[in-house]
Amino acid sequence: MELEGKIRIPSGCAIAAVISREGNPIPGNLISEAMRPMHDRSNGLGGGFAGYGIYPAYKDFYALHIFFDSRSTRKDCEAFIKEHFEIVKAEIIPTEKNRAITDEPIIWRYFVSPLKSTLADLQLDEKEFVVRTVVKINSEMKGAYVFSSGKNMGTFKAVGYPEDIGEYYRLGEYRGYSWTAHGRYPTNTPGWWGGAHPFTLLDYSVVHNGEISSYDANRRFIEMFGYKCTLQTDTEVITYIMDYLLRRQRLSLEEAANVVAAPFWSTIEKNRNIPERDKLIYLRTMFSSLLITGPFSIVLGFEGGLMALNDRLKLRSLVVGEKDDRVFMASEEAAIRTMEPNAENIWAPAGGEPVIVTLGEGVEN
Amino acid sequence: MKRIYVNEEWCLGCHLCEYNCAFANSGLKDMVEALKGKPIFPRIHIEGNEKISYAVSCRHCTDPICVKSCIAGAISNKDGVIVVDKNKCVGCMTCILVCPYGALALNENGVMQKCELCTRNSDGTPACVKGCPNNAIVFEER
Amino acid sequence: MKSDESKCVNCQRCVSLCPTRALKIVKSDCILRENCNWQNDTIREVYKQANSGGVLLSSMGNPKPMPVYWDKMLINASQVTNPPIDPLREPMETKVFLGKKPERIERDKSGNLINNLPAQIELTMPVMFSAMSYGSISYNAHASLARAAEELGIIYNTGEGGLHEDFYKFGKNTIVQVASGRFGVYENYLNAGAAIEIKMGQGAKPGIGGHLPGEKIVGDISRTRMIPEGSDAISPAPHHDIYSIEDLRQLVFSLKEATRYKKPIIVKVAAVHNIAAIASGIARSGADIIAIDGFRGGTGAAPTRIRDNVGIPIELALASVDKRLRDEGIRNNVSLVAGGSIRSAADVVKAIALGADACYIATAALLALGCHLCRTCQSGKCNWGIATQKPELIKRLNPDIGSRRLVNLMTAWKHEIKEIMGGMGINSIEALKGNRLMLRGVGLNEKELEILGISHAGE
Amino acid sequence: MDKFVIIGNGVAAAGCIEGIRSTENEGRITVISEEKHPVYCRPLISYYLEEKTDREKMKYRADGFYESNGCSVIFKKAVSIDKSKRHVILEDGEKVSYTSLCVATGSSPFVPPFEGLDTVKHCFSFMTIDDAEALKKELSKDKDVLIIGAGLIGLKCAEGIGDRAKSVTVCDLAGRILSSILDDDCAAIMQKRLEDSGIAFMLGDSAVKFDGNKAIMKSGKTVKFDILVIAVGVRANSALIRDIGGNVNRGITVDKYGKTSVKNIYAAGDCTECVDYSDGMNKVIAIMPNAYIGGFTAGVNMAGGKTEFANPIPMNSIGFFGIHAMTAGSYDGELFEDRSENTIRRFFTKDGRLIGFMLVGCNERAGIYTSLIRERIPLSTLNFDMLRKTADFTSFSAESRKHVFGGEI
């Protein structure tokens, strides 16, 4: 059977997320446990987590999490990275053997910073250079796969059930101000670690439940801007779209939501607020190929916040709840109740309406 | 009330309305059986010359002089549709003498006949209108 | 009743009008002794030319048994892992905007988005009626197209014959064409429509001009074309002011200047061998929209040999142009309109999935108006009142009926497009554009699949 | 509550009832009927004898007509009107009071004072169903019938009884049949058809004296008969109005609203006279359309509405044994004629307008001509040469066709 990237594999999923609005540390096992009641939404063929604020000691460095299929690949890849980056720390990501997790690759993380000279040579900004490097490794370096590349954040993913993966990566040892989680139900895959979610690019991470019907329209459009959809997964293309809209076009989160889950024309036409209406028409027209159709519920993680978003018909479940400074998001309320039995204000956001939570003012991240 | 109106701009002079009319009023199911080899007595007629043509049938006047003139009380106004009671008609042709549109004529039995808006077919459109290939005959409120 | 089979063109008018369906047209049983190489038509054409010494003329699209790729592509549908969407319950959007999209957003000082979109064409569905000139088709045919376009919220195209004074009122649903003959082109004309189309070529006769004989240049037609009655209307093969892509760019900007940058400019080209490179050039010429016309496109009159042997299929042209523009990162510079025998809603869906923004239809529109594809438009004696200027024939096409039938056809297609989209789980046409995963090929070889950018069914 | 009273129970009365009810639904309507029948189609009595119709079909209005229109009918003769007390006095002295009254008494057969008429055993008029029934009773295949008067009534009678008698002879002082509506040529064609069908004529000659079964003619000839029908003409029944000092000429004078010169009294139908729109002359136009329209007009105005009797003209459609003549208007004008062996089309124009026509043997769509007279359409607006030959609308302008076929009606 072919791996992700050779073939497009649809899948069903479970997602969950939590954030502390005040930036208080949350242990990673909280989110790992949240996935347990949604066990049946996954089928053991992939899961993962993203934590933000987990590397305060190295917060100024890009944390590259990389799978290698062999020592020699790692050597080659490290050599490639060293050409353009300063590596301040390189280590194996600590794991704990777990019966349910097998066939593990070699998993390392590197805290790096691009060489100023290289950036100057290429006339690129730092982030863009990191993106290109990641894309290059992932598309050209066989056996190496960068699965996390943001600052002060990290992704942890594997083939298996999410709660087992959480234990495997010893998530209880990390503290972050926000976490996202994903459990996967692919319908046709041998399961490949790199294909598990969250999918990340820089500090953007996406967990996604659904199967988007606009995939190839989105992919072929976004690939015009230097992205390569090597995994052929929805999550990957959504991540790139978000990166394109937020980082490169500098749209706000709401504006980006109005592109990917644009209101229906009939809704737009009924909008009495003319500037608002014109803005919506503009965004839909300008970025028409980035409209995402088909069922999805996603949580986008980024530096300093989370955004949950449903497709405009709300074809996938997504609920949100609150308690004190924490906001919870999940495919099922059960997951929220696991994290916080006394969660309040539980609601199901309407299709196309983003729920954006950012760290309160004055809170360091 | 919906009436039949004709527009000579679109009439092609194909006479289909006449055949459709005669067929619709024949009571038969098959047009060939109804019309083939027989003289036909439609209630709508194409008139014209090589330049123009148009169909003429009863206009269903709001103040129909034929109704007032019928010596047999055989013509009446049924909800705006002017109808002939064939049983009562004696063929005196007074209606022909008074109708400004020339819309009445004798049928094959020497009894007066005229368009009675055959709207009881499936879609409520008279046969001539339904069969007109170029909308030269329409059935509408004006 | 007698008939002269030598004069029958099989237009089916008699068959259609007979109320008892008593008529049928049969092939004459008098046939030449044909063989696989020398077939009936080929032999007759030789006789005809031996008689006349002239170029053979014919009309409508290429009838030769060339591959129709639309029929070798199949559309996807959702099952289990994602849901089909019911178009009867959920909004199903077919609105499209054609025109260049800027590379970047812009904001004013207070951070609000600025509308920096150049002029666009807004369509309620991704189909337009393509160019057919007044002269090649009748007043009533034009009236039908214009009225239908207005009612549908789509666009029709004047073709190269100018815009009849009666139809200026349909301006916002009109594309005015500027072709090599420049008939009827003046400032008001350019400003009358929703967009201007520069016609560089036509799928039915790439590389060939046009010729409307003087006897057809009478009355309104002469006035609309702005040429004297009785003079031949000759459209040269090239625009004599366009001998290169730089020249095209100049014309594009001249037209934009003349219309104060309020009208998108379409450049229409025939699908020919290096169409991808041509399109790439046009996309960089300032044009807003590229219309590509495949070799099966119709015509009122074309030299038979050209019609049947020049150009390439629209499916391959469209796929390679879309790919090339994306590879070059300039797909957003232009919208793509595909034409040249789009026959059904399925063809539209496939064209959009291959990468078109919209489709042009003409033959299908004429069929809606009554055309029975007898393919003798060049005679000027169209029995259906379409490709004729004879008053007694024109009269046969009542625009009330014509426009209604066009509206019906487009409405039906729209329903079908929505249904097919719903089946794919797509509720907006934007998400279908270039979505080639929704297509699979059957009976195509590797090369064809590669050019179309689709997988084979079963993959 | 208004009390509407109508004297007479013919078509004019029916028109009057429907006219009142088209305007209001409150007032009571009383019909005073000398004939003991509900309104029936009097012109059909010849068809009745011919058995082309029957008593049931001859009803002018369906059963329940009076009830559904809130009418009561008194089957008595009205003998006088008290205009100051506003009531009608009936033959038995009963008084019927009215708010407004319509006199629709019709006409009566005129019987000249023939010498020896009292010696004739079987002498009939031919006006009412009772006349027809009486005649029918007497008719048989072995009886000779003499009809005095070759006008519409006499000839219809002749046609109606042709098959039931041994012979039918029609005599008339005039030199042609239907002398009041046809000229010689037209009359000759009609006469020929009647003769071919077995009717005998003695024209320019008429009975002056009777002796039992014998009529002695002006020419001195004697004609034997078993049954005598007198159809020399009719007289308007205008006495009720004349007796109270109302204006009466040959018929009761009414204005275009149907009003007589007596307050609150209207009149309609054969008992009235009106202005012939085709020649501007005052005359009694005793035809059915006028009776109905006159009655309807009077009814509307009686009930407080306002309507006029628009452009009445004489017109007749009459046929015998398959040949038909149609006439309308007056004949004092320039003549245009087209004829063939069995048909004649004669048109009379004056001041650029059609004022009258006679059509014999060719009557398709004659109403188009009639409307030219009634609408006073200037002939300059159409192609009259064409129109005379065929009654259709190709002779009209496209503009007027548009109006006729596409406009309001």
Q: Phi and psi dihedrals of C275, rounded to 5?
A: -60, -35
Nearest of C114, C73, C94 to residue C359 by alpha carbon = C94
Question: Is A68 in CB contact (< 8 Å) with chain C?
Answer: no
CB pairs below 8 Å between A and C: how many? 112
Contacts of D153 (CB under 8 A, 6+ apart): D109, D126, D127, D231, D234
Find which of D45, D57, D155 to mutate to test the B interface (most B CBs within 10 Å of its CB). Answer: D57
Q: Is D373 helix (H, G, I), strand (E, B) or coil?
A: helix
Nearest of C293, C59, C294, C307 to residue C197 by alpha carbon = C293
Provide the strand spans (E) within C224-329: 233-235, 265-270, 289-293, 302-303
CB within 8 Å: A285 and C331? no
Residues C311, C201 contacting (CB under 8 angstroms): no
Amino acid at residue number D156: K
What pLDDT score was predicted for residue D54?
Answer: 93
Question: Is C220 in CB contact (< 8 Å) with chain A?
Answer: no
Check residue C258 and report its DSSP letter. Answer: H
C19 closest CB neighbour out of B12, B31, B134: B31
Question: Is A288 in CB contact (< 8 Å) with chain C?
Answer: yes
Q: Distance (Å) from the C-alpha of residue C375 to the closest C-alpha of chain A? A: 38
Find which of C16, C17, C397 to mutate to test the B interface (most B CBs within 10 Å of its CB). Answer: C17
Residues D13, D295 contacting (CB under 8 angstroms): yes
Average pLDDT, integer, range A61-85: 95
Contacts of C54 (CB under 8 A, 6+ apart): none
**Token reading at A84:** 């353009």
How much is the CA Rg of chain D, to the nearest whole Å?
22
**Residues in chain C, total:** 459
For the stretch D210-214, contacts whose Cβ atoms lie closer than 8 Å and that sit 24 or more positions apart, written own/partner, are D210/D114, D210/D115, D210/D116, D210/D117, D210/D119, D210/D120, D211/D116, D211/D119, D212/D119, D212/D120, D212/D121, D213/D120, D213/D121
What pLDDT score was predicted for residue A364?
Answer: 37
C401 closest CB neighbour out of B31, B32, B135: B135
3-state helix, strand, coil split of chain C in percent (to 5) is 40, 15, 45
Residues of C in Cβ contact (< 8 Å) with A10: 81-82
pLDDT single digits (tens) A176-226: 999 999 998 876 556 688 888 899 999 999 999 988 999 999 999 999 998
d(CA C112, CA C258): 31
Domain ranges of chain D: 3-108+235-302, 117-232, 331-406
Find which of B8, B12, B52 to mutate to test the C interface (most C CBs within 10 Å of its CB). Answer: B12
CA D398 to chain centre: 37
pLDDT single digits (tens) D172-223: 999 999 999 999 999 999 999 999 999 999 999 989 999 999 999 999 999 9
**C128 pLDDT tier (thresholds 50, 70, 90):** very high
d(CA B51, CA B34): 31
Residues C195, C266 contacting (CB under 8 angstroms): yes
Domains and CATH numbers, chain B: 1-57+121-142 (3.30.70), 63-114 (3.30.70.20)
Domains and CATH numbers, chain A: 11-264+292-358 (3.60.20.10)
Q: Nearest residue on chain B to D365, judged by CA atoms? A: B102
Average pLDDT, integer, range C346-365: 98
C20 closest CB neighbour out of B10, B14, B32: B32
What pLDDT score was predicted for residue A188?
Answer: 55
What pLDDT score was predicted for residue C1?
Answer: 72
Residues D153, D43 contacting (CB under 8 angstroms): no
d(CA C345, CA C431): 17
The share of chain D scoring above pLDDT 90, in percent, equals 90
Task: Name the CATH architecture for the domain at D117-232.
Answer: 3-Layer(bba) Sandwich (3.50)
Find which of C94, C331, C435 to mutate to test the A interface (most A CBs within 10 Å of its CB). Answer: C435
Q: Nearest residue on chain B to C22, judged by CA atoms? A: B32
A211 closest CB neighbour out of C81, C102, C430: C81
Nearest of D3, D1, D16 to residue D269 by alpha carbon = D16
B14 closest CB neighbour out of C17, C400, C401: C17
Q: Which residues of chain B have pLDDT under 50?
A: none
Please say if the pLDDT value at position C9 is more than 70: yes
Q: Nearest residue on chain D to B87, judged by CA atoms? A: D57
CATH fold for the domain made of C96-456: TIM Barrel (3.20.20)
What pLDDT score was predicted for residue A187?
Answer: 63
Average pLDDT, integer, range C260-286: 97
How confident is the prediction for chain C on average, in pLDDT?
Answer: 94
- Max alpha carbon distance in chain B (Å)? 40
Please say if the pLDDT value at position C131 is more than 80: yes
How confident is the prediction for chain A on average, in pLDDT?
Answer: 91
Determine A/C contact with 3+ CB pairs under 8 A as the test: yes
Q: Is A92 helix (H, G, I), strand (E, B) or coil?
A: strand
d(CA D339, CA D352): 22
Q: Tokens 């090649």 identify what position?
A: C136
- CATH number for the domain running over D3-108+235-302: 3.50.50.60
d(CA C41, CA C44): 5
Q: Distance (Å) from the C-alpha of residue C44 to the closest C-alpha of chain A? A: 49
Find which of C73, C101, C113, C323 to mutate to test the A interface (most A CBs within 10 Å of its CB). Answer: C113
Residues A337, A289 contacting (CB under 8 angstroms): no
Average pLDDT, integer, range C412-433: 96
Please say if the pLDDT value at position D234 is more than 80: yes
Nearest of C205, C112, C212 to residue C160 by alpha carbon = C212
Residues A235, C72 contacting (CB under 8 angstroms): no
Nearest of D98, D77, D106, D34 to residue D262 by alpha carbon = D98
d(CA D219, CA A95): 147
Residues B136, C399 contacting (CB under 8 angstroms): no
**A3 pLDDT tier (thresholds 50, 70, 90):** low
Nearest of C260, C325, C272 to residue C297 by alpha carbon = C272
Residues B47, D392 contacting (CB under 8 angstroms): yes
Q: What is the DSSP string of C114-139?
A: E--PPP-EEESSSEEE----BTTB-H
Name the burial class of residue D103, with classes exposed (0-12), middle (13-18) and buried (19+) by CB atoms within 10 angstroms of its CB: buried
Average pLDDT, integer, range D94-105: 96
Q: Distance (Å) from the C-alpha of residue B5 to the closest C-alpha of chain D? A: 5
Q: Phi and psi dihedrals of A337, rounded to 5?
A: -65, -30
CA D210, D212, D213 angle in degrees (round to 5)? 95
**Token reading at D389:** 């030959």
Question: Is B9 in CB contact (< 8 Å) with chain C?
Answer: yes
CB within 8 Å: C395 and B131? no
What pLDDT score was predicted for residue D2?
Answer: 79
**Token reading at C311:** 């150009």
What pLDDT score was predicted for residue A286?
Answer: 97
Do domains D3-108+235-302 and D117-232 share one topology? The answer is yes
Average pLDDT, integer, range C277-291: 97
What pLDDT score was predicted for residue A194?
Answer: 86
D289 closest CB neighbour out of B61, B65, B96: B65
Q: Is A357 helix (H, G, I), strand (E, B) or coil?
A: strand
Report the C-alpha dihedral over residues B21, B25, B29, B30, rounded to 10 degrees.
Answer: -50
d(CA D15, CA D296): 4
Residues of D in Cβ contact (< 8 Å) with B52: 394, 398
Nearest of D167, D158, D171 to residue D140 by alpha carbon = D167
Q: Nearest residue on chain A to C101, judged by CA atoms? A: A286
Q: Count the alpha carbons within 13 Å of C255 in the hemisphere toward its beta carbon.
A: 29
pLDDT single digits (tens) A74-114: 999 999 999 999 999 999 999 999 888 888 999 999 999 99
Q: Is the peptide bond before A198 cis (omega within 30 degrees of 0)?
A: yes
pLDDT single digits (tens) A114-159: 999 988 888 888 999 999 999 899 888 999 999 999 999 999 999 9
d(CA D407, CA D409): 6
Amino acid at residue number C261: Y
Pairing mode of beta strands C358-361, C127-129? parallel
Provide the strand spans (E) within chain A: 11-20, 26-27, 47-52, 62-68, 85-92, 106-114, 144-148, 153-158, 175-176, 178-186, 199-201, 204-210, 296-302, 305-310, 319-323, 326-330, 344-347, 355-358
Among C residues 340-379, those touching chain A with beta carbons less than 8 Å apart: 355
Q: Tokens 């704990």 identify what position?
A: A96
Question: Is C19 in CB contact (< 8 Å) with chain B?
Answer: yes
Q: How far separated are the first and last CA of chain A, in Å rounded?
A: 43
Contacts of C65 (CB under 8 A, 6+ apart): none
**Token reading at A288:** 């028409």
A214 closest CB neighbour out of C97, C332, C426: C426
Average pLDDT, integer, range C242-249: 94
What pLDDT score was predicted for residue A363?
Answer: 42
Please say if the pLDDT value at position C202 is more than 60: yes
Residues C267, C283 contacting (CB under 8 angstroms): no
Residues of C in Cβ contact (< 8 Å) with B133: 16-17
Q: Distance (Å) from the C-alpha of residue B3 to the closest C-alpha of chain D? A: 10
Question: Is A315 in CB contact (< 8 Å) with chain C?
Answer: yes
Residues of B in Cβ contact (< 8 Å) with D293: 68
CB pairs below 8 Å between B and D: how many? 119
Q: Nearest residue on chain C to B12, judged by CA atoms? A: C396
CB within 8 Å: D406 and B100? no
Question: Is C17 in CB contact (< 8 Å) with chain B?
Answer: yes
Determine D/B contact with 3+ CB pairs under 8 A as the test: yes
CB atoms within 10 A of CB D204: 13
Q: How many helices (H) and strands (E) does chain D have?
A: 11, 26
Q: Which residues of A are catalytic?
A: 13
Average pLDDT, integer, range C296-307: 92
